[in-house]
Each structure stands twice: as C-alpha cells, then as structure tokens.
Amino acid sequence: MLCFGTECLIQNITSEINSELSVSMPGMLLCVVFLSLIYINQASALVCYCAGHCPHNQPNGSCFARPDSQCFSAVERVYNEETNLMEDERTYGCLPPEENGFMQCKGHLVPHEIPKSIACCSNGDWCNRFLKPNTVQRTTTPSPMYQGELLSYTGPYNAATCITAVSVCFAILGAVLVLMILRCRKDKQTQRNYMNVEKGINGDAVKGLMDKSEASGSGSGFTLLVQRTIGKELEMLESIGRGRFGEVWKAQYRDQLVAVKVFFTSEEPSWSREKEIYNTALLRHDNIFWVSYVASDIRGNGSWTQMLLITDYLSLGSLHDYLKEAVLDLSTMLKLAHSASCGLAHLHVEVSGKQGKTAIAHRDIKSRNILVKRDISCVIADFGLAVKYKCDTNELDVAENTRVGTRRYMSPEVLDETIDGSQFEAYRCADMYSFALVLWEIARRCKVDGIVEEYQLPYYDCVPTNPSFEDMKKVVCVDQTRPAIPTHWSSCETMQVMSKVIQESWKQNPGARLTALRVKRLSEIRSPTQRLKTA
C-alpha cells in the first residue's frame, strides 16, 4: 500500500526501530537526515516545459507544477521500426509533489534493462527546457557523470514543514536512544547473572581458589566459569556415585536434571585441572564430555567448602554400570568401542591454529570414567589428571596433583616407574594400554554363538578387589599376564579382529601399541549389514 508525506516517514522509522538496532548509531543518524531531506521539499510552484508527457493530453507547451514538485527531462532508448535502429526518445513535464515523484528523479542512479535516464530541476520556470540527460548502458554501478549528483533546491522553504521535520527527527533520535539504553541494561543484567563470581564465600583459601580460577582463562575466547547463582540454586536429590575424589549427585537446577561432582577439599587440584581442561579451546567433540559441561562453582558457609562441577545428567551412567546390566550384540559392542576411541583420538591429537587445541593425555582411562549417552555412544570424562602438550613449543603441562591413576588400569611402565615423564608420547601410550582393558570389558559382554560372559573388571581373577601397587606390578610387569581372551571369540570374524586390536593395544612395549587413530578403524571391520554411521 502506498504512503505519502509524514505518514510514510513515520512508517519507515517504525520499521527501522523494529529491526532491533541492527544499524549503528552513525548509520541511524544518516538515515534520519536522508528521510528529513525527503520530507522537506520546495513550497513554491513552477512552470515547466512539457512535451510528450503533458497532463490531460494537452499539446506540447507548458504545465504548472504543484507546490513542492519539480520539472523533469527524461530520455529512453527505443527501437525505431522504420530505421531498425535504437534511438533516444525525450519527454518533458511536471512531476507530482509526492515521494514517488522525488524517487523518479533518482532513477538515473539505478541501472535499467532498457537504457533510460532522467534529470529534474526546480530552480526556476522552464528550467527543464534545455536539460538533456543521456542514456547509459546497464552497469552494476552508476555512470561517473551521475555519481554524487544531487538535486538542487533553491526555492523558499516552508517554515511549518521545516519545524515538523525537525520535530520528527528529534522524536526518532529520542526513541533510538531509549531502546539502546534498555538493550544495554538487559545485556549487563544477563552478564551479571551468568558470569559474576559467587558472593558471600569467606576464607582466604576459598578466595585464593576463586582468584586462581578467574586468572586461568585460555585467552582464546573461553573463560573458566565460576557462576554466582548456579551453586545456590542446586537441589541435591540423591547420591549416585562415590570415589577417591569425592561424590557424584543427581541434582535439580531450575527445571533441568544435572549431575554434580562434589570434590573433597583435598582434591582441589583435580577440580581446578578438570575445569581447566573443559575450558580448552576446540575441545568440543561428540565423544568428549565437554559437550555436557554446564559450569563450575565453589560454595560454602565459612565452616565448610564444596568445589562443584555441574554437567548434564546422563541416566545410563558410566560404561562400568551399563555393562553390568546390558547384553550387547555385535553392532552395539562396536558402537561403544568406536565412539570411545573417537573421543580418545580427539584428545590425543593437537589442532593447530590461533584458537587450536593442545594434545591431551587422559592418564586415568577406565570404564568408570567413560559415560554412556542415550544413543548408546560413549563420552570420555574425568580430566583431573590430564596432561597437555604443545608440540610447536615442546611444552608439557603436567597437573600439580598428588593423585595417581587407578592401579588396576595402570600400564607396565607406570607400575615399574620406567615411564619417561618428560615425553608426551609416553602418556599417550599409557592411555592406550588402559583403553585396551576397557575394550576387553566391552567385548566380554557381547553375545557370540549364544554365549555371553559375566561382567568383570580386568584382572578380576588375578588380584584382590582393591589391589596394591605390588599386586599389579607382579601380575602385569613380572608375570606379564593379561586378561584372558574367551575361546569362543575365534568362531566370529568380528570378534577375531576385536581380539587382535585389544592384544596389540596392551603390549608390554609401549612403542608397539596401537594408537587411538588406528583403533578408530574398528568402524571398518563391520559387515555391511552391521555398518553404523561413524563420526
């Protein structure tokens, strides 16, 4: 629907404001000035020369332009059937005072399919008589002869019109400023809700933890989150796990179920390290628990302190818990193994670039530190012992942590203390030994020829429930024993390959073990009917 004068101006301004200030303030000011120029037209009438475009089919001669209108001279390239040539056809006349008349005067600035142009004037009677605009060929930019050309308004201005236009301009500017102030306040409130540090926590030790947390950002767009409100708004529902580091709770945060890992005060280095790893740039991967990380927090009342990691709640729990209950077919077994290997491979590799990812070794791979998502794929979790490595600077970042890994899953070189702690590759090889034991746990729960093994931990038949270093060292290093491979696996081609991958990953010699990237190729051993989508 067409609009005229002040009505159209107000509609355009309303449209601009509804765009949620997508244009900057300088751009808005230019828009206001431009719209004001549209509104302020000359108030005096003109006598224009007309030819080919005279009102009411009057013969060529003159026409009287209404107040605030202009005279024009137009040219269009047309085809002459008699000469078979393209020729210029010129017309003269009066434009209406409305905005569409003004916009017609700008027609020469826009390329046309049929070459045409127009020139307008309002600086005196018959001013268009000798205006001779030239046609220009269609181009992507205006012809140089017209670039920067503006209409000249030399007639007297209407005082009431000027006052109205200026008033509208100030009203627009006021509305824009109010909207910008409201939006700024909203952004600041959002930032305060989610990024401020928890208030009301006393004690020098806690303050030190908070200061350290705030200062340990990666510098590449990620910050270590210590959020003000989330700790206070948690409602602990039930304890779902307990270990050396502390306890895991199922909790309610607003309308969402979350898992809360509560660290003992003595495990502060593990809490800080895991929080730091979760905030590593480019750690995002479907098979790393980073995608489920919500926040970290410290809360207390002066007499006790809790260090928290808040993540999404995964109802299936750890791989250890899942395997105790589930019986796997070949497809599910390979999906669990392949997804876990994808997560470990992403950890081990370094991603170069300004916001790249350092290579990371886990150092505590076990079935309890791997979680199962609803789609029955695995995610690697618990990075309290992780080691980071930058190959370009050969910098190895080992956590300052007295905690050690799980003895049952320790590699031979860790147990006999021959591991070269200055080499990142040594930690990566140790991860692969531990991961081979996890693959063995997964494979035992796969039903083959109607037979499925009872779930057991590695070396269940060789060491006590809580083995010592000496127990594990004797079995793994001295006797060089490994968990038994069931004989019925040999009847299945897929289980034969799985068995080979496991045995080549737990070899005594660290350098002879498979890498996580090689183990990812488990996806290639499936038959076409069992093939799954791979990451």
Q: Point out the annotated binding site for ATP.
A: 261
> Do 469 and 414 contact (CB within 8 A), yes or no?
no
Nearest residue to 414 via CA among 405, 401, 423: 405
> Does the annotation count 416 as an active-site position?
no
> Do 415 and 378 contact (CB within 8 A), yes or no?
no
Distances (CA, A) of 510 to 268, 290, 423, 433: 31, 28, 12, 8
Distances (CA, A) of 239 to 248, 266, 501: 6, 20, 37
- Identified catalytic residue from 68, 364, 382, 431: 364
Burial of 146 (0-12, 13-18, 19+ CB in 10 A): middle
The pair of three-digit structure tokens given for residue 431, joined into one six-digit string: 């991860």
HEC string for 384-453: CCCEEEECCCCEEEECCCCCCCCHHHCCHHHHCCCCCCCCHHHHHHHHHHHHHHHHHHHHHCECECCECC
Between CA 173 and CA 111 the distance in angstroms is 34
Distances (CA, A) of 80 to 83, 86, 115, 119, 137: 6, 6, 15, 23, 18
> Do 310 and 272 contact (CB within 8 A), yes or no?
no
Regarding beta strands 293-300 and 305-312, do their DSSP bridges make them parallel or antiparallel, or are they unpaired? antiparallel
Burial of 408 (0-12, 13-18, 19+ CB in 10 A): buried
Between vectors from CA 477 to CA 401 and to CA 388, what angle results, nearest 5°?
30
- What are the binding residues? 261
The pair of three-digit structure tokens given for residue 339, joined into one six-digit string: 């997804």
Sign (positive or negative) of CA dihedral 467, 471, 477, 480: negative
Reported as type and span, the H/E element at residue 375 is none
Catalytic residues: 364
